[in-house]
Every structure is written in structure tokens, then in C-alpha cells.
Amino acid sequence: MNGIFDIATLWAFIIAFAVFVYVVMDGFDLGLGILFPLFPEKADRDVIMNTVAPVWDGNETWLVLGGGGMMAAFPLAYAVLMPALYTPMIAMLIGLIFRGVAFEFRWRTLSKRNRWDIAFTGGSLLATLAQGIALGAILQGVHVEGRHYAGGWWDWLTPFSILTGLALAVGYGLLGATWLVLKTEGALRDKAYRLSWLLLFAMLGAIGAVSIATPFLHVGYAQRWFTWPNLILTAPVPIAVAGVTVLLLRSLANRRDHQPFFLALALFALSYAGLGISMWPYIVPQSITIWQAASPENSQIFMLVGVAVLIPLILGYTGWAYWVFRGKVRPESGYH
Amino acid sequence: MFEGWDAVVLARAQFAFTMSFHIVFPAFSIGLASYLAVLEGLWLWTGREVFINLFNYWLKIFAIAFGMGVVSGIVMSYQFGTNWSAFSDKTGPVIGPLMAYEVLTAFFLEAGFLGVMLFGLERVGHKLHFLATLMVATGTLISAFWILSANSWMQTPAGYAINADGQFVAADWLKVIFNPSFPYRLVHMVLAAYLTTALVVGAVGAFHLLRDQHLAGPRVMFSMAMWMATLVAPIQILAGDQHGLNTLEHQPAKVMAMEGHYQSHPDGAPLVLFGLPDQAAGKVKYAIEVPKLSSLILKHSLDAPLAGLDTVPRENWPPVPITFWSFRIMVGLGFLIMGLGLLSLWSRWRGTLYEFRPLHLFAMAMGPAGFIAVLAGWITTETGRQPFTVYGLLRTVEAASPLAAPAVASSLIAFVIVYFAVFSAGVIYILRLMASPPHHGEQGPRSDIPARAAGITPAAGVITEGSAG
């Protein structure tokens, strides 16, 4: 079963793809929630909400595909990781509840001080930190015995997982800020540009910190990155990060509204590829490989048929929905 | 708060709690999405303004209910892993693909077209917008298809084998998907969703008719809702009866619990109308019975023998009191709903549908009846499956995660607090919208969203044509 391109490998890429699409698409939604307190004006907040109101639900659905797909394609990994990440997962779900209902509720409340704006920020921040912490906790490995998680319910909490939690909050913030550059104009966009500068440097710092800390977690990570001939595959990643950073700095300096968001996405993609290089071929690092966790082939093939037909279709109509709501969002008074 | 409870009991309490909250929203949004599609279709077909006013009125309510369904649904999809990891490992290869197909065929469809449905009428034009509404409505039904298939497989597993790791694996996917109880459960649940929505729509219509009989919107929605109750309630009772016969064939212990039959009846079993099931003593106290009626209903013969729980090993008994009572609540409400439908039919025939106040009061009182019946029905079928998670094959105690009780207790307390805080606010917002009647020129969820793309000629943006209605 250890072929390079068998069905389990294909499924590992499909799940990784779903999680990546979730990270970047809900990433800018959650980033907007995190940045919300920096925009105290109601008019600005209304515009910010309206930039994502038509699409946030679709963005979040990728999380359900990531989770549901993992249960279907790698049930053992799902069964081990979810109890290991119990507290971050529950925190993420509760954060997503507050964030999700805020989209509608904030227009329905009669009170002047909108408590659903607080729920939007609190929920976004909680969900983001929980996702980042979960990522760190997976990377540092979990205690497995037989087919079960065998650790305690606070094992996930380490300085490293806190670092990844904060790093993700910075990264989502950058996605949110560059999204606003893309979707707004005037003073709101100017402020988004200033935040993008700040958050880009913070994100570079965060990428650096996580990259330095990861090889110390486990000798396998260090060997993966720094031994010959792996270097041929791994060295292009930091080089590409540097290249994208230069382009991103230039697009911010030249105020090309439509560029920074997509370059920030590229930065995420590279960081994500780096994670994949570190983890491969484990799905639960250092204990369960994708082949050990894989569903029987007939389950994976049964779903593959659906994925092959439906994912292109989904990307098609999701793209159409984004197209329908394309362009700059203006305050109600400002458009004619 | 939960001292002395073990982790499995806490995990069950958590699943029951989060599931009970969740199911209310899809039960409503499945029906409401279809209703919105009908309203928009009628508007496009007839051009009457009343239909687009009703559409926009209910669309605002749909937006809130759908959002609550989404966020409470994500909790469900991750709870399998967090609290029921052994279940996930063992059944993942069979149930997982069904849920993955639900995401791929339903959730994305709903979410992808929801934005256009809520905010895009002026941007895409009437026909494309109607298509978006139809896609959302279709998505809710496809979602029901897959999740009920997965649930039904847990009730009546079929088409499976068990591999060396102790996992269930599919031997025949068609048999897995179309397992024996699935068609009955699907019909019963979708009809329940339609009735639930009709009762809510009818109650809102009745509420406004009680104040003013001449309002166009409330008249139309009340009439439509009462047609639904009249026509569908009898079909639902028939579908429920057929579902029960199917359960008798595949999950006899559940029917014994529903009927309160601790003892076997070799020559005709009585129908226990009411009584107090005593699980420890193994009998129903103070039972009020109709002789031989249970045999007539379940076996179509007065003297047909019916086995009782005395033929089932005690460790396989479902908790009879809960199953027994929730079943009676569901059936009682079902007949009340049919009564409402018949009363409205009589009133309609006499030409007093919009004036007959007792009917309006009855319809208002029945507003929440669908939700209660749906919850009672789910409690019946889920507790009736106990002590198994996969009926006859995987015990609930073997399905749980290896978690410490304090972890599960903490998350349960967190969910209870958050759900009551968040969802009660949502219900208040919905009730507030319902408190005023749909009016001339009713707006959709937000009029400020369609900030048009620069340089694009807006599609024919005439939402309200005053010519008719």
C-alpha cells in the first residue's frame, strides 16, 4: 500500500486542499472579526460586514468538509485527534457560534451599543486562537495507545501551541486587512493599508518564529528540512516566501488594491506547504501515517467519484457567487 | 453540577442537548426554503405583489433561522469526533462518506446560493434569483436525504461487513444508503418539516388576522398554511403508521418500548393509552388500555400474538418511560394537527376562514406544535434504539471517547450557557419580526447590500409592482 500515488495519498491531498481553502476563505472572515475593534464607526463596520455577508457561510462549509472528509477518509486520525484537541475544538465551535450568528443578529438588535459586534470579535478571536493552538498541538504530536488517544485533556497547552495560536491570529488579521484593501475605498481602505503594513511584518515574524521552533519539536522535522537531498525540495519554500514578501511590500507601497490580498494568500499557501513538508507522511505526527489511518479503499473510491464531479461544480458556483458580489462595497449613503 | 455522572452519560446528555437545539432549525428551514420557493414562483407567475411581500417577509426570518442551523450543525459534525471517537473510528468508513456527500451535495449548494438568495435579487435579475432560491430549497432536501440515510443505517444497519480492525466497512453501498428504515424515515421527517413550517406560518397569519381580517399577506399565508395542514397531516399519520410497522419488523424492542409492552401477549395485545411505565418492576402501572387494539394496528388482526420485552435480555432494554411518553406526545400532536386541518377545511367550506376566531386561536396555539412533535419523535426513535448506537451491533458505552468526566462536564455546561444565550436571542429576533404583518413594499434582509459593482447596469430592479395585489 506504500505507493507514492495511491488513493490514500490522493485523499490526503483532498483533505489538505479542503482545509487550506477553509483557512484562506474563512481566514479573511475571521480576520475581519479580529480587526473589528479597530473600526469603531458604525458606518465602517456595516461596510466591513457587507463585504462578507453573502459569502461567509460558503467559506465556513469548507471546515465541515475538512472534518467530515477526515472522518470518512481517515477515521482513525479523526478519532485520535478530536479527543486530543478536545478543549480547542469545543472553544472553536463556541467561537464560531458567536461569530456566525452575529452576521444576522447585529442587524436585528434594537440596543445602541451592539453586543453582537462584541460577539463577532470575541467569537472570531476565540475560533482563530483555537485553530492555531490545534495546529500547534498536532505538530507537537499526541499520545496514542492502540486506536485511542491516551493523553490528558490539557496536553495541547504548551508554549509552542500558544505561539501557533497567536501566529494564526496575526495571519488571519493580514488576510482581513488585505481583503478590506480589495473591497473598500476611501478612509476605510487607507486604514486597511496601514494595518496591512503592520500585520505583514508581524506575520513575517510569526512565520520565522514557528519555523525556528518547529525543528526543535522533533528530530524528524529537522531532518526533513535540513538534510541532503531533502534540501532540494525544502529550500525553495523560504526562497519563495522571500519573493512573495517583496511583491507584497511593493503592492502595498504602490497601492495596487487588488494585489495584496492574493499575495497574502500566496504567503499562506507557502506556509501551508511548509507544514505539509514537515508532517508528511504522518496525519498524526510521529504516530499514525495516512496509510494507517486510511478508510478501506472502497470507502475512499466511493467518495472520490463524488469529489471528482462535485468539487469543480462547487468551485464553479462559489466563484459565480463571488462574481455577483464583486467590486467595492460602499456605505449605503455613498452609492448611487 | 454533574458529580457522580460518568463521562458516557455526560456525553449522551451533551449530544441530546445539542441535537435537540439543532434539529429545531433544520426542521423549520427545510419547510421554509420550500415555502419561499413556492412564494417566489407564484410571484413570478402571477405578478401579484402580495407574494413578493410574503417572500421578503419570510426571507428575513429564514436568514436568522438558517444561520442558527448552520452554527449548531457544525457542532454536531465535530461532536462525533470529540465525544464519540470510538464510534467515529468504527463507523467512519460507512457513515463518514454519507456525511461527506451531504457536505458536497447539500451544504455547499445551500451556502453557495444563499448569499444570492438573501441579497442578490437586484443584482442577478428575477430568473437567476429564483434559480438560487430553488437551489437553496433543493439543498435542504438533499441534506435531509443524506443525514437521514446515515441515521437510518444506525437504526437498521445493512450492506456492511466488519474488518480486522473492528471497523464497519461497506459491502454494498446501495444497501447501506437505502437501508430498510431509510425511505420511511425520510418521508416521515420531510413531511414533519413541512408541517412544522406550515404551523408556524399559519400561527403568524392567524395572529395578524385576529387583529385585522383584511390584511392581504396574512390572509394568503394563513390559507396556504391551512391547506398544508389539511392535506399533509393525514398523509403524515399514514406515513408514521407505515414507519411503525417497519420498526416492528427491524427493531421490535423499540416498538415494545413505545407500546409499553413489557409482557408478551399470545392472543392479542392491548393498546396502552396511558400509564406509568416502571422499568425496574418491568410493568406499566395504572395502565388505561383498549383490549386487542395494539395487535390490530401492528398486525392487522385482533388476536395476533405480540412479543413483549420479557423476550428480550434485560441488558438490551431501551429506557421505556421516555420512549413511551415521547411517542404519545408525538402521536397526540399529530392528531391535533389533523384536527386543525379539518377545522380549517370546514371553516373554508363555510366561507369563514378569515373570520372564524376560534380557528385562529387554535392555529396560534398550534404554532410550536410541529417543533414539539419533531423533538418527541426524535426522542422516541433515538432512545428506542438504546442501549445501542448501531442497533444490535455497537453499544453506546463502547462508542464514547476516552475522556475524563470533568472535560465532558465542562463542555456540556459551556454549551448549555452559550445555546440559551445565543439561541434565545435569535428566537426573540424572529418573534419580533413576526409581530408586525408583511406590508406593502416589504424589504428583504438588508436593502443596503446590493451596492452594485462599478460599471454594471443593474438588472431590472423592480421589486414591487403596484399593479396587482
Say what the pLDDT of residue A335 is.
Answer: 32
Interface touch B94/A299, C-beta < 8 Å: yes
pLDDT of residue B463 exceeding 60: no
Residues B103-133: pLDDT tens digits?
999 999 999 999 999 988 888 999 999 999 9
Q: Which residues of A touch B401 (CB under 8 A)?
A: 82-83, 86, 149
Q: State how far the Cα of B196 lies from the Cα of B366, in Å rounded to an integer.
A: 10
Residue contacts between A and B (CB atoms, under 8 Å): 257
The CA distances from residue B205 to B86, B213, B225, B339, in Å, are 48, 10, 9, 18
Binned at pLDDT 50, 70 and 90, residue B3 comes out as: low
Residue of B nearest to A50 (CA): B449
Q: Which residues of B touch A78 (CB under 8 A)?
A: 81, 85, 88-89, 92
Q: Which residue has the higher pLDDT, A28 or A327?
A: A28
Say what the pLDDT of residue A114 is.
Answer: 85
Q: Give the residue among A199, A214, A198 at the shortest CA–CA distance from A164.
A: A214
Summarize the confidence of residues A48-67 as an average pLDDT: 91
- Classify A148 as helix, strand or coil: strand
Say what the pLDDT of residue B1 is.
Answer: 59
Q: Give the residue among B328, B331, B326 at the shortest CA–CA distance from B375.
A: B326
Q: What percent of chain B has pLDDT over 90?
A: 84
* Residue of A100, A149, A318 with shortest CB distance to B70: A100
Interface touch B111/A329, C-beta < 8 Å: no
Average pLDDT score, chain B: 91
Distance (Å) from the alpha carbon of B65 to chain A's nearest alpha carbon: 9
Say what the pLDDT of residue B461 is.
Answer: 35
Q: Give the residue among B392, B317, B400, B318 at the shortest CA–CA distance from B156.
A: B392
- What spatial distance separates the first Cα and last Cα of chain A, rounded to whole Å? 62
pLDDT of residue A276 exceeding 70: yes
State which H helix or E strand residue A247 sits in.
helix A236-253
- Total length of chain A: 336
The CA distances from residue B97 to A195, A306, B74, B141, B240, in Å, are 42, 10, 17, 18, 28
- Residue A334, in any domain of the structure: no
Question: What grid cell was written down for A242?
Answer: 522571500
Distance (Å) from the alpha carbon of B427 to chain A's nearest alpha carbon: 10
**Residue A90 domain boundaries:** 7-326
pLDDT of residue B98 exceeding 50: yes
Strands (E), B99-187: 160-162, 168-170
Query: In sequence order, what are the residues at sequence separation of 6 or more whose Cβ sits closer than 8 angstroms to the Cβ of residue A305?
Result: none
Say what the pLDDT of residue B247 is.
Answer: 95
Distance (Å) from the alpha carbon of B175 to chain A's nearest alpha carbon: 14
Q: State how far the Cα of B269 lies from the Cα of B275, in Å rounded to an integer.
A: 15
Residue of B nearest to A85 (CA): B82
Say what the pLDDT of residue A126 is.
Answer: 97
Residues A71-123: pLDDT tens digits?
999 999 999 999 999 999 999 999 999 999 999 898 888 776 789 999 999 99
Say what the pLDDT of residue B132 is.
Answer: 95
Q: How many CA atoms lie within 13 A of B187 on its CB side?
A: 17
Among B residues 51-110, those touching chain A with beta carbons less than 8 Å apart = 63-64, 67-68, 70-75, 77-78, 80-82, 85-86, 88-97, 99-105, 107-110
**Sign of the CA dihedral with A144 first, then A145, A148, and A154 last:** negative
Say what the pLDDT of residue A5 is.
Answer: 65
Best of B59, B60, B70 to mutate (most A CBs within 10 Å, chain A): B70
Q: Which residues of A touch B167 (CB under 8 A)?
A: 75, 296
Residue A185 region, left (φ>0) first, then alpha (ψ -120 to 50), else beta? beta
* Residue of B77, B86, B116 with shortest CB distance to A68: B77
Say what the pLDDT of residue A333 is.
Answer: 36
- Residue A332, in any domain of the structure: no
Query: In sequence order, what are the residues at sequence separation of 6 or more whose Cβ sits closer than 8 angstroms to the Cβ of residue B407?
Result: A86, A87, A153, B7
Task: Check CB contact of B287 with chain A, cutoff 8 Å.
Answer: no
**Of the candidate ranges A282-291, A325-334, B208-217, the one whose mean pLDDT is the lowest:** A325-334
Residues B431-441: pLDDT tens digits?
999 999 998 88
* Residue of B67, B113, B451 with shortest CB distance to A335: B451
Task: Check CB contact of B454 with chain A, cutoff 8 Å.
Answer: yes
Say what the pLDDT of residue B459 is.
Answer: 36
Say what the pLDDT of residue A218 is.
Answer: 85
Please give the single-letter amino acid code of residue A276. Answer: G
pTM of the model: 0.91
Q: State how far the Cα of A152 lies from the Cα of A141, in Å rounded to an integer.
A: 13
- Residue A254, in any domain of the structure: yes
Domain extent listing, chain B:
7-257+323-435
Say what the pLDDT of residue A121 is.
Answer: 96
Say what the pLDDT of residue A332 is.
Answer: 64
Q: State how far the Cα of A145 lies from the Cα of A80, in Å rounded to an integer.
A: 9
Task: Check CB contact of B429 with chain A, cutoff 8 Å.
Answer: yes
Binned at pLDDT 50, 70 and 90, residue B460 comes out as: very low
Q: State how far the Cα of B335 lies from the Cα of A212, in Å rounded to an integer.
A: 68
Residue of B nearest to A51 (CA): B449
Q: Which residues of B touch A103 (CB under 8 A)?
A: 67
Best of A98, A99, A108, A303 to mutate (most B CBs within 10 Å, chain B): A108
Q: Give the residue among B177, B179, B105 at the shortest CA–CA distance from B138.
A: B105
Interface touch B100/A150, C-beta < 8 Å: no
One-letter-per-residue 3-state SS of B116-134: HHHHCHHHHCHHHHHHHHH
Interface touch B96/A299, C-beta < 8 Å: yes
C-alpha of A103 from chain center: 20
Paired with B274 in beta bridges are B288
Average pLDDT score, chain A: 91
Contact B380, B330 (CB under 8 A): yes
Q: State how far the Cα of B397 lies from the Cα of B387, in Å rounded to an integer.
A: 8
- Residue A103, in any domain of the structure: yes
pLDDT of residue B468 exceeding 70: no
Interface touch A299/B414, C-beta < 8 Å: no
Interface touch A55/B165, C-beta < 8 Å: no
* Residue of B92, B115, B447 with shortest CB distance to A78: B92
Best of B72, B82, B134 to mutate (most A CBs within 10 Å, chain A): B82
Helix axes A56-73, A7-35, angle to 10 degrees: 150
- Kindly tell me the burial class for residue A11, based on how many C-beta atoms sit within 10 Å of its own C-beta (0-12, 13-18, 19 or more): buried
Interface touch A101/B71, C-beta < 8 Å: yes
Q: Which residues of A touch B15 (CB under 8 A)?
A: none
Paired with B395 in beta bridges are B388
The CA distances from residue B5 to B317, B320, B393, B401, in Å, are 21, 21, 25, 15
Best of A17, A126, A324 to mutate (most B CBs within 10 Å, chain B): A324
Task: Check CB contact of B123 with chain A, cutoff 8 Å.
Answer: yes
- Residue A335, in any domain of the structure: no
State which H helix or E strand residue B271 sits in.
strand B271-278
Q: What percent of chain B has pLDDT over 70?
A: 94
Say what the pLDDT of residue B57 is.
Answer: 95
Best of A17, A98, A299 to mutate (most B CBs within 10 Å, chain B): A299
Task: Check CB contact of B302 with chain A, cutoff 8 Å.
Answer: no
Q: Which residues of B touch A296 (CB under 8 A)?
A: 93, 163, 167, 169-170
* Residue of A72, A82, A296 with shortest CB distance to B82: A82
The CA distances from residue A117 to A168, A297, B315, B441, in Å, are 21, 46, 51, 29
DSSP letters spanning B281-344? TTEEEEEEEETTHHHHHHHSSTT--B--GGGS-GGG---HHHHHHHHHHHHHHHHHHHHHHHHH
Q: Give the residue among B312, B330, B327 at the shortest CA–CA distance from B392.
A: B312
Q: State how far the Cα of B430 lies from the Cα of B203, in Å rounded to an integer.
A: 13
Q: State how far the Cα of A112 lies from the Cα of A115, in Å rounded to an integer.
A: 9
Distance (Å) from the alpha carbon of B292 to chain A's nearest alpha carbon: 47
Interface touch A75/B96, C-beta < 8 Å: yes
Task: Check CB contact of B431 with chain A, cutoff 8 Å.
Answer: no
State how many domains chain A has: 1
Query: In sequence order, what are the residues at sequence separation of 6 or more whose Cβ sits closer than 8 angstroms to the Cβ of residue A257?
Result: A181, A182, A189
pLDDT of residue A136 exceeding 70: yes
Give counts: helices (H), strands (E), chain B: 15, 6
Residue of A nearest to B415 (CA): A94
Residues B34-87: pLDDT tens digits?
999 999 999 999 999 999 999 999 999 999 999 999 999 999 989 999 999 999
Q: State how far the Cα of A99 lies from the Cα of A91, in Å rounded to an integer.
A: 12
For chain A, the maximum distance between any two Cα atoms, rounded to a whole number of angstroms, is 65
Q: Give the residue among B175, B357, B100 at the shortest CA–CA distance from A70.
A: B100
Query: In sequence order, what are the residues at sequence separation of 6 or more whose Cβ sits closer than 8 angstroms to the Cβ of residue B280?
Result: none
Contact B181, B319 (CB under 8 A): no
Binned at pLDDT 50, 70 and 90, residue B446 comes out as: low
Say what the pLDDT of residue B262 is.
Answer: 93
Question: What grid cell was written down for B220?
Answer: 394568503
Residues B335-345: pLDDT tens digits?
999 999 999 99
Best of B89, B142, B165, B424 to mutate (most A CBs within 10 Å, chain A): B89
Q: State how far the Cα of B271 lies from the Cα of B293, in Å rounded to an integer.
A: 5
Q: Which residues of B touch A310 (CB under 8 A)?
A: 104-105, 108
Q: State how far the Cα of A275 lies from the Cα of A265, in Å rounded to an integer.
A: 15
State which H helix or E strand residue B39 sits in.
helix B7-46
